[in-house]
Amino acid sequence: MVQLNYLEILRSSFTLVILIFCSILSVTFAIERWLFFRKNDIDSGNFLAKIKQFIEEGHFKEALALCEKTQGPLSMVARTAIANHQKPKADVEELLGAVRLEERLKMERFLVVLGTLGNTAPFIGLFGTVVGIIKAFQDLAISGTGGPAVVAKGIAEALVATAAGLAVAIPAVIVYNYFMRKVKAISTAMEAASLKIMVYLHT
């Protein structure tokens, strides 16, 4: 049984080098986004309850101080509403809509990289496989001997590129979908918080 020399395959296949670089990018941005969402994760129910209490008591400075101390999209929404509570209701609603869009952009930062890697890595691997198969048949034509054994070894080495492409793409797609779900959940929470705070301010 012929053993594949993966180090030699890596040296001879530029597509595997590209896929290794893609995997490093994927892991780097996945960790960065995980740290971002972890840092901005707050107890929204408790936060809004405190904001409601401060607003009902007329303690707007204390409410703003709580928003300054709390990180995350919800605190930005609350801070914007409270800081502009003396403006007309329509203007405050417009400002809140703009803040929600800005915060969504921050949450989606680098996610396009993960989505792109998840979509393109299999094709990069497939390209490497096609190139490897072409090379295997060229080697067979040049040598003129060896028969199916030479082709089988070359094809086995070529298929490593497809496997590597899938190994990069599958985790990237899973992580991308996970973070997009968090973005949607937080966006919904921001909209709900905007409505609640507007009610607190104008009742």
Pairwise CA distance, residues 197 & 29, whole Å: 34
Q: Which two tokens stand for residue 147?
A: 């028969």
Return the closest-CA partner of residue 186 out of 102, 73, 30.
73
Residue carrying the six token digits 């989606």: 108
**Among 118-122, 152-156, 166-170, 199-203, where is mean pLDDT lowest?**
152-156
- How much is the pTM? 0.83
Pairwise CA distance, residues 165 & 177, whole Å: 18
What element of type H or E holds 202? none
| Whole-number average pLDDT of the chain | 87
The pLDDT assigned to 190 comes to 93
Taking residues 54-73, report their average pLDDT: 90
Q: Cα-flanking dihedrals φ and ψ of residue 135, to 5°?
A: -65, -40
Q: Contact, 121 vs 20, CB < 8 A? A: no
Q: Where are the domains of the chain?
A: 6-201
Return the closest-CA partner of residue 95 out of 85, 105, 104.
85
Q: Is the pLDDT score of 80 beyond 80? A: yes
Collapsing DSSP to helix, strand or coil, 143 comes out as helix
Instruction: Evaluate the CA torsion angle 83, 85, 87, 93 in order and state its sign.
Output: positive
The pLDDT assigned to 1 comes to 46
Portion of the chain with pLDDT greater than 70, in percent: 89
Q: Contact, 161 vs 63, CB < 8 A? A: no
The better pLDDT of the pair 3, 37 is held by 37
Residue carrying the six token digits 């496989």: 129
